[in-house]
Amino acid sequence: MTTFIEEVITNLQEQGLNLSELKFILPSKRAGTFLKQQLSKSTQQTMFAPEILSIEEFVESISGIKTISNTELLFQFYNTFLTLNTQSEPDSFEVFSKWAQVLLQDFNEVDRYLIPQDKIFAYLSAIQELKRWSVETEITEFVKNYLAFWNKLLEYYTHFSQHLLDNKLGYQGLIYRQANAEVKAYVAQNSTQHIFLGFNALNTAEESIIQYLLEDTNAQIFWDVDKTFFENPIHDAGLFTRQHAKHWNYFKTHPFQWITDNYKTQKSIQVVGVPKNISQAKYIGSILKDISKTKKNLESTAIVLGNEELLLPVLNSIPNEVKTLNVTMGFPLKSIPLASLFESLFNLHKNNPKSFYFKDVISILSHQYIRPLFILNEKDYATQLIETIQTNNIVFLTDKKLLALCEPFKELITVLFGGWRNNAGEALKQVRSLIFILKTYLDLNKEEHVLSLEYTFRFHELFNELDRLHTTYNYFQSISTLHQVYKELLSSETLDFQGEPLQGLQIMGMLESRVLDFETVIISSVNEGILPAGKSNNSFIPFDVKIEYNLPTFKEKDAVYTYHFYRLLQRAKNVYIIYNTESDVLTGGEPSRFITQLELENIHPLKHITAMPNVPIGEQKLKMVSKTPLVIERLKALAAYGFSPSSLTSYMRNPMDFYFQKVLKVEEYNEVEETVAANTLGTVVHNTLEDFYKPLEGTFLTVEHVKDMKSKIGKTVLYHFKKAFNDGDISTGKNLISFEIAKRYVSNFINSEIKELEAGRKIKILAIEADFKQVPITIAELPFPVTIGGKVDRVDEYDGTTRIIDYKTGSVTQNQVEIIDWDDLTTDYDKFSKPFQILCYAYMMHTSGKLNFPLEAGIISFKNLSNGFLKFTTKDKSGKGAIKDSLITEETIKLFEEQLKQLILDIFNTDVNFDEKDVSH
């Protein structure tokens, strides 16, 4: 394959030109690197390298002014805005920067296309006045200010551009306009022959400069357009070159170089639909693996990323067979892990909070760059601090609280969480201190942290630039403004890859591919909204005004991408066009129109493939643990200590949970309880009732007793909330609602007691929170002691009948405490866990000799209090007409004991494993 650059050099040599004495101007710096390489290959003699410039460098050299960064430009423009603004309260820099960036882009376009400034700004002003025209004679102050803004555009532009020119500075458009004015002087002082190559779309200033050089000097220009596109009057890939050939005076007397005929040569084009972005990266990896089997050197292979955010996934997908590669684009600084730390710090301090939300604090403490800083004498203080926050339910923390919790790291805590006081200077000082702390730590193990040190240095540079801007202009009036400018700088910064730019596989963006040719081309993200980018209206200049003044619209921008896309295909032999099959409004919709256009042209056969990621479906096996002698020993110890009713129902629900919690003693993860959990609410209600009723054990309740409790509800509930919820805040939000619910539950229960007593019921409190430990169960098959234990919420005597009562803060209905077949009692957790627990309490009390038959046992549900005492009941059948019995007799206890013994024997049966049950439903 002969590349475009080779063809140009061969032509120049055939003309007998001395290549060293030429000045080459190309669309990009990247193309210049390849031009140098080709020059070295094309000459047999030692020579001086010619001057090679990108078009931007060339135009800047003509203009005599220096390019200014976009961020610096914004600050300079704000100076102009303040100088010319007569409003009593001009926009703050934060507000200004949101609209000024759009206006600066418009200034840039107006200058690049050499539009008369007075005409277009007057035109825009007139349009706005027409839009706001009304038969009303009075104009509001808002409309006056709005129109005044448009009337001042020319004044803003004139003052700003003159200020920049006075300081020999400029943005791209201003530099182009100035270069166009200085081109005659430049030509007079330079006799070097200029060679322009590889251009397509040119702005008016570029056209004017290049045409002047072509007509008044011996300059030459080489286009790269294919006959297929150039001769088709409606093909966008040839749109600009057709216009240049038609309208430039130079081509009336000189040949148009070149129109090639490479596109129709034989090509293998595969169009591959892949779901999601990551799958595209993985598929590119598989293509490279296949190519590497036949080609050891991939210098003639290029990956062109339509969506440059795919860079990292693609790099991670490069197979081991690819030994060398070159990445032309830098790695975005915003994607580096350290960026997330500074983003977290900005979010933490941005609104000048008096206290910090615990999740924000934990995200910083657990960050990969911060956690190692909290290790002292092999002790992880960050983990300790996080556990303290979680254990004590600390939802909001002050910097003083954090200092008190982590005294050994006073300096680090101050740097991270010391208040920024909504002061940009203070923020920058703290951030720089943090960077030096990070550097000191990373320097201790330089070899392990080479990349991290590079990251830290780049952020050090970035924050130094922010500090310079703050010192120079002093426009950062808040942390929010600083954050906004930080993000603006961060988005444009990259970490450049180091390596040999001409060796191995080439990975580049669409614009870096200009002028370059490859035999094998892999193009990713060929979707609408990406290739081409589609409509975007980031401008104050309306569409019709752009048409009137020949400014580029989205149609011309689409044509630019069309040219780049087809140019990649011109000389290529193998093409892989990859698109995302999953439509997404944010990251690209349907397959690109370019794919449809290739089909309609019918010049090359397209091989359509839909690729799916090879995701192995792992068979989901439920866990199973056998009962080894060691497990049996642990179970024996557990039996001797006493099985609780809840542990036995845990075994019924899922034996694997029982194994983890009781055998392995794996505790549940302790999270911060932001809102009061159900078990905390239950604990508060239980403890409050215990405080009220415990002193009355052995006595009959009176109305006076219960009424006395009502006056203490608020104080007692608050006490137990603070005790159970630790440092959690219950003064606002859902927690306040939970606090009120707890008071309401207790109040409603006490009201129901008053109602019963006033109706003449006799209630005697026998026991409150009766604690039974190691109640023995005689099981002949087990030659070791087995016991159960637990707490009974309340035992009372109601009109002579003993009742065992279990409190539930959740909703319980009568049918949940009924059974028909005793054999079902230990097999269905959802249906029979509540009757099982109730009967456990009855069994413990009976075995302990604490009660007489007959008796009743049941539940009082605070959420369903109107149904009163829900008694355990046996039924002879389901449905209507069933005979129910709610009295618990000695026979009932014996029937339950059989089921209890069977359940415990099952737990100790070595032939029965701890099998996991699917309880996800």
The whole-model pTM stands at 0.77
Give 747 or 46, the one with higher predicted confidence: 747
Is 588 a residue whose pLDDT tops 60? no
E runs forming strands in 782-866? 787-798, 801-808, 818-819, 855-861
Average pLDDT of the chain is 91
Give all strands of the β-sheet with 220-223 in edge-to-edge order: 51-54, 22-26, 193-199, 220-223
Is 586 a residue whose pLDDT tops 60? no
What whole-number distance in Å separates Cα of residue 672 and Cα of residue 386? 10
List pLDDT tens digits, range 454-467. 999 999 999 999 99
Is 52 a residue whose pLDDT tops 80? yes
Write down the pLDDT at residue 830: 83
Is 585 a residue whose pLDDT tops 60? no
Other Cβ atoms less than 10 A from the Cβ of 648: the count is 23
- Give residue 18's pLDDT band: very low, low, confident or very high (50, 70, 90): very high
Write down the pLDDT at residue 364: 95
- Give residue 879's pLDDT band: very low, low, confident or very high (50, 70, 90): confident
Pull the structure tokens for residue 4: 């475009």
Is 887 a residue whose pLDDT tops 60? yes
Is 135 a residue whose pLDDT tops 60? no
- If 0-12 CB within 10 Å is exposed, 13-18 middle and 19+ buried, where does residue 380 land? middle
Other Cβ atoms less than 10 A from the Cβ of 137: the count is 5
List pLDDT tens digits, range 535-548. 777 888 999 899 99
What whole-number distance in Å separates Cα of residue 640 and Cα of residue 35? 85
Q: Is 855 helix (H, G, I), strand (E, B) or coil?
A: strand
Is 838 a residue whose pLDDT tops 90? yes
Is 727 a residue whose pLDDT tops 70? no
DSSP 8-class letter at 863: G
- Give residue 670's pLDDT band: very low, low, confident or very high (50, 70, 90): low
Please state the rounded mean pLDDT for residues 508-524: 94
Other Cβ atoms less than 10 A from the Cβ of 166: the count is 8
**Block residue for tokens 């924000």:** 360
Write down the pLDDT at residue 148: 79
Pick from 336-345, 387-396, 521-530, 559-568: least confident: 387-396
Is 671 a residue whose pLDDT tops 70? no
Write down the pLDDT at residue 765: 95
Which residue, among 912, 905, 917, 913, has the nearest Cα to 829 in the 3D structure? 917
Write down the pLDDT at residue 589: 67
- If 0-12 CB within 10 Å is exposed, 13-18 middle and 19+ buried, where does residue 794 land? buried
Please state the rounded mean pLDDT for residues 663-690: 79
Is 691 a residue whose pLDDT tops 70? yes
Please state the rounded mean pLDDT for residues 219-241: 96
- Percent over 90 (pLDDT), the chain: 71
Torsion of CA 704, 706, 708, 713, to 10 degrees: -170
Please state the rounded mean pLDDT for residues 369-385: 92
Is 673 a residue whose pLDDT tops 60? no
Is 218 a residue whose pLDDT tops 80? yes
Is 333 a residue whose pLDDT tops 70? yes
DSSP string, 325-382: EEE-SPEEGGGSHHHHHHHHHHHHHTT--SSEEHHHHHHHHTSTTTGGGGEETTEEHH
CB 79 within 8 A of CB 184: no
Pick from 252-266, 761-775, 821-835: least confident: 821-835
Is 66 a residue whose pLDDT tops 60? yes
Write down the pLDDT at residue 675: 60
Write down the pLDDT at residue 622: 82
- Give residue 669's pLDDT band: very low, low, confident or very high (50, 70, 90): low
- Give residue 501's pLDDT band: very low, low, confident or very high (50, 70, 90): confident
In whole angstroms, how far apart are CA 618 and each of 67, 498, 615, 621, 921? 57, 41, 9, 9, 20
- Give residue 136's pLDDT band: very low, low, confident or very high (50, 70, 90): low
Write down the pLDDT at residue 127: 86
- Percent over 70 (pLDDT), the chain: 96
Pick from 225-239, 445-459, 609-623: least confident: 609-623
User: How large is the angle between the packed helices 93-112 and 153-166, nearest 10 degrees?
Assistant: 80
Give 140 or 201, the one with higher predicted confidence: 201
